[in-house]
Amino acid sequence: MSEVKVNKISPRTNCGTVQLGDSGDTITIPAGVSITNSGTASGFGATGAASWNTTVKTGDFTAVAGEGYFVNTTSGAVNVTLPAGSAGAVVAIKDYANTFDTNNVTLTRNGSDKIGGQAVNATLSTEGMAVTLVFVDSTQGWLVTDDGLQSIAPTSKYVVATGGTITCCGDFKIHTFTGPGTFEVTCAGNSTGNNELEYIVVAGGGQGGVNRRGGGGAGGFRFASPSLAPATYPGKPLAAPAAITASVASFPITVGGGAAQRPHPNPTPPTGFGLSGSPSTFSTITSAGGGGGSCSSSSANLVGGPGGSGGGGYGAPPDGGTPTLAGGTGNTPPVSPAQGRDGGDGGASAQTSGGGGGGAINEGEDSASSGGTSALGGDGAGVPTAFGSNGVPCGSFRYYAGGGAGGSGCSPAGPRAGGKGGGGNGGFPGSNATAGATNSGGGGGAGGQSGFGAAGGSGVVIIRYKFQN
């Protein structure tokens, strides 16, 4: 074998051609040798093929002609600026983590270069896609020559999640939490399928007052269901304008407990309102516990407690005086739309009875000024159970977050009713108050003459999303 060492090989004539070998010969380029092309190459199969850069891109960058890139959008969308177009230039992009559907890649034009014949940027939004683009000319600019999924249009995807008790209603899955748990989203869906989480979040109801005081306020009621038609049902006025956009994450669920029963006689004489229910939470949504009904033995402070809905005020004691008898303030802390209503006022005359606890839709009823008749609890919100909770058939109707009725010192024909949505009945002599219904957020009924204050009902969290068409 002979060896020729030179620094440059040129043709004998100006602008001539240099030939390496003859037909059938093999020209070997050993390992470690680099060939740099500063001119125009042809016949090497370079056009339409890319050399892949294996350093994964996680942020915005400018592509280099002839290179392919693995792009990871797990942490957010990425902008890729295309190189200046020249005929035969090639760029390739591959979804590294199968997240283009959640966080897109935007292909940004370089100057006036077109993409697909249009003077607009392009979006890569399909999970797992790989795409190769070649610059053809100024008319068409960059054109797709190879698409791993045969389309750069997004495909329909739906939320996939676990947690709670899962039921189905039509094209929707419903997760019902009657106690603490975790709502685990493993696929966030997309806009062409569905990526919205609709919800009902109801807190625990407040405690009813003892001895003809105020009924317990309902737990806060927060609700969003854009997919339901704006039909005429009582819960719709409380609907939030938008659902929660799904994300791949673990969402801790808190279901508020109802306030405990209050005995009579109370070991510790009450000086204010009763116990509040506990809050319920899902994602950014918190519903406040219902306010306790007035329990005070002090003629100077007979108001109901604040909360999701307010507790009822106390009827004036036998010694008269000028006490404050107002029901507690609902929607506390304030949210929009309101999560509940105020409690009813106690009666202003001696021997009158307590006001009703507020409900999600209606304020608690004010007590009559005389006669000892207690007040009704405020009605809660009615919701079509396309949410399908607690064994209620799909498509039927259910109320949540009703206020507890006030207590009475007289014996009416029957107990005063708590509000629709699990509010407890108020007591009267010879009849005990009843507790708010379990997993309704209903306020507890107030005790009648010398009677105990009933417990509030526990809350509930219900999440619904589309899983098919």
Question: pLDDT tens digit string along 405-440?
Answer: 988 877 665 567 899 999 999 888 877 899 999 999
**Does residue 250 carry a pLDDT above 90?**
yes
Do residues 68 and 169 both lie within one domain?
no
Query: At which of 130, 147, 164 does a domain end?
Result: 147
Query: At which of 95, 125, 147 does a domain end?
Result: 147
Do residues 134 and 162 both lie within one domain?
no
Does any domain span residue 108? yes
Tokens linked to 441: 């957020």
Tokens linked to 351: 């021997």
Tokens linked to 421: 């949505």
Does any domain span residue 14? no
More reliable by pLDDT, 64 or 241? 64
Tokens linked to 300: 């100077």
Mean pLDDT score, 2-16: 77
Does any domain span residue 22? no
Q: Is 340 helix (H, G, I), strand (E, B) or coil?
A: coil
C-alpha 84/C-alpha 94 separation (Å) is 20
Does any domain span residue 46? no
* pLDDT of res. 411: 66
Query: At which of 89, 124, 147 does a domain end?
Result: 147
C-alpha 404/C-alpha 258 separation (Å) is 12
Does any domain span residue 31? no
Q: Could you give the C-alpha distances from 116 to 87, 101, 137, 397, in angstroms and in order?
A: 14, 21, 11, 52
Which of 66-75, 290-299, 332-341, 386-395 has the lowest average pLDDT?
386-395
Does any domain span residue 23? no
Do residues 252 and 306 both lie within one domain?
yes
Number of H helices, E strands in the chain: 0, 22
Contact assessment for residue 308 and residue 330, using Cβ atoms and an 8 Å cutoff:
yes
Contact assessment for residue 67 and residue 91, using Cβ atoms and an 8 Å cutoff:
yes
**Alpha-helix runs per DSSP H in 268-357:** none
**Does residue 151 carry a pLDDT above 50?**
no
- CATH code, domain with 131: 2.60.120.640
Does any domain span residue 55? yes
Which residue, chain included where needed, has tokens 């279901």?
255
**Does residue 46 carry a pLDDT above 50?**
no
Q: How many CA atoms lie within 13 A of 376 on its CB side?
A: 10
Terminus-to-terminus CA distance in the chain, angstroms?
73
* Most confident listed range (188-202, 276-290, 306-320): 276-290
Do residues 199 and 345 both lie within one domain?
yes
Residue-wise pLDDT for 167-188, tens only, equals 888 788 999 999 999 999 999 9
* pLDDT of res. 410: 74
Do residues 84 and 189 both lie within one domain?
no
Do residues 140 and 226 both lie within one domain?
no
Mean pLDDT score, 227-255: 78
Q: Is 95 helix (H, G, I), strand (E, B) or coil?
A: strand
Which residue, chain included where needed, has tokens 């038609």?
229
Q: What share of the chain is helix, strand, coil (3-state, %, to 5)?
A: 0, 25, 75
Tokens linked to 134: 């070649």
More reliable by pLDDT, 300 or 210? 210
**Alpha-helix runs per DSSP H in 50-146:** none
* pLDDT of res. 42: 56
b (16+ CB within 10 A) / e for 151-189: ebebeebbbbbebbeebebeebbbbbbbeebebebebbb
Mean pLDDT score, 355-373: 79
Using 50, 70 and 90 to split pLDDT, how confident is the model at 449? Answer: confident
DSSP 191: T
Domain that holds residue 325: 156-469
Using 50, 70 and 90 to split pLDDT, how confident is the model at 13? Answer: confident
Cis peptide bond upstream of 306, omega within 30: no
Do residues 289 and 373 both lie within one domain?
yes
Do residues 178 and 132 both lie within one domain?
no
Q: Is 184 helix (H, G, I), strand (E, B) or coil?
A: strand
The domain tally of the chain equals: 2
Do residues 280 and 227 both lie within one domain?
yes
Does any domain span residue 227? yes
**Does residue 301 carry a pLDDT above 90?**
no
Do residues 140 and 173 both lie within one domain?
no
Which residue, chain included where needed, has tokens 């100006």?
14
More reliable by pLDDT, 176 or 146? 176
Question: C-alpha angle 201/236/357, rounded to 5°?
Answer: 60
* Most confident listed range (232-246, 269-283, 449-463): 449-463
Do residues 266 and 362 both lie within one domain?
yes
Do residues 375 and 445 both lie within one domain?
yes
* pLDDT of res. 225: 84
Burial (CB count <10 Å: 0-12, 13-18, 19+), residue 116: middle
pTM above 0.75, yes or no: no
